[in-house]
Structure 1
Amino acid sequence: MAVLVTGGAGYIGSHMVLRLVDAGQTVVVLDNLTTGFDWAIDHRASFVQGNAGDMELVGKLIAEHGITEIVHFAGSIVVPESVSDPLKYYANNTATSRNLIEAAVRGGVKHFIFSSTAAVYGNAGLEPVAETSQLMPESPYGRSKLMTELMLADVAAAHPLTYGVLRYFNVAGADPKKRSGQSSPTATHLIKVAAQAALGQRPSMGIFGTDFPTPDGTGVRDYIHVSDLVEAHALLLEYLRKGGASVTMNCGYGRGFSVRDVVRTVKQVSGVDFKVIEEPRRAGDPASIVAKADKVRQVLGWKPAHEDLTEIVDAALNWERYLATRNR
């Protein structure tokens, strides 16, 4: 029995690999290294460079390694880019997922976990969104992810495959042991960008939109530590292995922070008053999105261990400091 992790050289995927191999599980990583890094893959996992949408390759890996589960992280994630280049997102997210699911069915894979997004809800307002909330994605990114959710439901109804979907909110932080973190120098994640500005790696950072209908005019998000997120994946995998029914769940903390809140916290933790520039809104960005995350706690018994924003920011700053020494 082995687990195939697509996108396992990326930010969240590499943390999932660590969680699985730390538990003694057999892991195969499939990543094309477009945005991932081979050095981020733990040496205890097998690594194959390739595309998750390559059905022939995936079929071969399933057969050779006895893969019984797939955890699918591979894809493109930048909302504004999806607005300007939608075909890239429908190719990398929707079409790739479709091929991967078909390869899974052909190979007899039992369980499939998909990393979805809160972007499927669109501009949800200030109240926390539940899994039963209306799905109104405002960007090709959100729509490309929702299409994969729908495909999984249809396939599971027709084949002996059970699946779990986790709708992520805003992932941040890094492995407490500093083994992995958000490593792309061009990443657009707010906490990473603010940490880079605090450490002098950027001359400034931007706040995109100050006129949203939120308490301070900036976007509000539910920030979740990456270690808590992958713990939810590990619990979901065990739930499916024990015969749990296919399920879709939010993964967040149920409370939001504005962009100004985050910038203020990064300044406090770092001790640096870096330059912040107010910019117009970006296309596709909702004003606020916060998780109603009761279901993941009830179904999986998930108990977050790193939900303090200060801890998340401190982990991000420490990872950026590590990257700066690593890349010298």
Structure 2
Amino acid sequence: MNVLVVGGAGYIGSHMCKCLSEAGHAVVVLDNLATGHRAAVQWGELVEASLGDVAAVGDTLRRHRIDVVMHFAASSLVGESMSDPYKYYANNVCATLALLQAMREAGVSQFVFSSTAAVFGEPQAELIDETHPCQPINPYGNSKLAVERMLDDAARAYGLRATALRYFNAAGACDSGLIGESHEPESHLIPRLLRRAAGEALDVQIFGTDYPTRDGTCVRDYVHVCDLADAHLLALEYSRAQPGFHTFNLGNGTGFTVLEVLAAAQSVVGRPLDIPRGPRRAGDPATLVASSRKARERLGWRPRRADIRRIVADAWAWHQKPAF
């Protein structure tokens, strides 16, 4: 198929482009490079444009005879969403609506959406499945949930075949070393630890050591970025056969504590990392772990890179010699 990857110059989007290309699909990337990297576009043509450029989006859909759109082009910093919610509603909701309208006009009726566990808000269960209440606690989560509801409505009204994949903590990098995680600013634990190990003067600390977990630190579900790409590829095939709107949670189903991630990082880099301990950070739940039973049963998805040391090692290979 001809696949338009919106946000394909970013971290997860670029890994998706690699996965699609290897599976035999023709890839086109649409990205304004506000946070993405031109050097990450190594699979498919780059169309440098924003989603708000309706003419460019429509022309791209028609000129490349796009069959399906995969959407990774969201603003995603929780803290920033709290201080600048208009930016998040404009980019994540309004721009996505413009994209969906352009798709309808161009006759493109399949859509795979990169969503997030932030749609759930505070966890009410040890394992979060698709039946968990959606009660976001920040504008980022609200904006993603708004798009999910829009997709559900569009599926009912227009016959859009749409799938939203809600994942927790994407991490790692492909073993080719060609692409990896490169954000500015970087807010994720694993790349912050590894960039500190690589010599950057990042202020990294552990927030809270008195949580009701096995070692007192927060538990999070880390998913290898290539496993996420595999899930999106399966979702693409699933929505071809299944009309309507579908949601899937993606996670390893086993969480790792902050100290376990630190131990994996120290093992991989081969030396101790002096990371100070601090008080709890407001709004951090003790545990966030996904139930991926639905994705396993309906998509046939199996994370193949679930070991935390493997995830960290692949990320470290990138951070030692990042290409961008």
User: What range describes the TM-score normalised by the shorter chain of this pair?
Assistant: over 0.9
Other-structure match for 1:12: 12
Q: How far apart, CA to CA, are the structure 1 residues paired with 2:188 and 2:291?
A: 22
- Measured after TM superposition, the shift of residue 322 of structure 1 is 1.7
Contact 2:159 2:244 in 1 (8 A): no
Secondary structure of the structure 1 residue equivalent to 2:205: strand
Measured at CA, do residues 126 and 200 of structure 1 come closer, stay the same or move farther in structure 2, by a change above 3 Å? farther
Deviations along 1:225-244, one digit per CA (max 9) or x if unpaired, are 00000000001111122345
- Measured after TM superposition, the shift of residue 190 of structure 1 is 0.8
Secondary structure of the structure 2 residue equivalent to 1:205: coil
Q: How far apart, CA to CA, are the structure 2 residues paired with 1:95 and 1:157?
A: 20
Measured at CA, do residues 114 and 226 of structure 1 come closer, stay the same or move farther in structure 2, by a change above 3 Å? same
Deviations along 1:50-85, one digit per CA (max 9) or x if unpaired, are 112322221111111111100000011111221122
Paired amino acid for 1:271: G
Contact 2:151 2:245 in 1 (8 A): no
Question: Equivalences for 1:4-43 in 2 at 5 Å?
Answer: 4-42=4-42
Higher mean C-alpha displacement, 292-301 vs 181-190: 181-190
Measured at CA, do residues 79 and 209 of structure 1 come closer, stay the same or move farther in structure 2, by a change above 3 Å? farther
Deviations along 1:244-267, one digit per CA (max 9) or x if unpaired, are 543100011111112222112111
Other-structure match for 2:174: 175
Consecutive unaligned residues of structure 1, counting only runs of 5 or more, are none
Measured at CA, do residues 28 and 39 of structure 1 come closer, stay the same or move farther in structure 2, by a change above 3 Å? same
Paired amino acid for 1:78: L
Q: How far apart, CA to CA, are the structure 2 residues paired with 1:174 and 1:85?
A: 30
**Kindly, what percent of the aligned residue pairs are identical?**
47
Contact 1:228 1:305 in 2 (8 A): yes
TM-score calculated relative to the size of structure 2: 0.95
Higher mean C-alpha displacement, 182-191 vs 135-144: 182-191
Other-structure match for 2:276: 277
Question: Equivalences for 1:154-173 in 2 at 5 Å?
Answer: 154-173=153-172
- Measured after TM superposition, the shift of residue 286 of structure 1 is 3.3
Paired amino acid for 1:34: A
Paired residues in the alignment total 324
Contact 1:139 1:284 in 2 (8 A): no
Contact 1:172 1:223 in 2 (8 A): yes
Consecutive unaligned residues of structure 2, counting only runs of 5 or more, are none
- Measured after TM superposition, the shift of residue 279 of structure 1 is 3.9
Paired amino acid for 2:315: A
Contact 2:15 2:174 in 1 (8 A): yes
Paired amino acid for 1:22: E
Contact 1:79 1:285 in 2 (8 A): no
Measured at CA, do residues 123 and 65 of structure 1 come closer, stay the same or move farther in structure 2, by a change above 3 Å? same
Higher mean C-alpha displacement, 149-158 vs 254-263: 254-263
RMSD, aligned CA? 1.7
TM-score calculated relative to the size of structure 1: 0.93
Contact 1:77 1:141 in 2 (8 A): yes
Q: How far apart, CA to CA, are the structure 1 residues paired with 2:143 and 2:249?
A: 17
Other-structure match for 1:261: 260
Secondary structure of the structure 1 residue equivalent to 2:148: helix
Q: How far apart, CA to CA, are the structure 1 residues paired with 2:181 and 2:109?
A: 30
Other-structure match for 2:183: 184
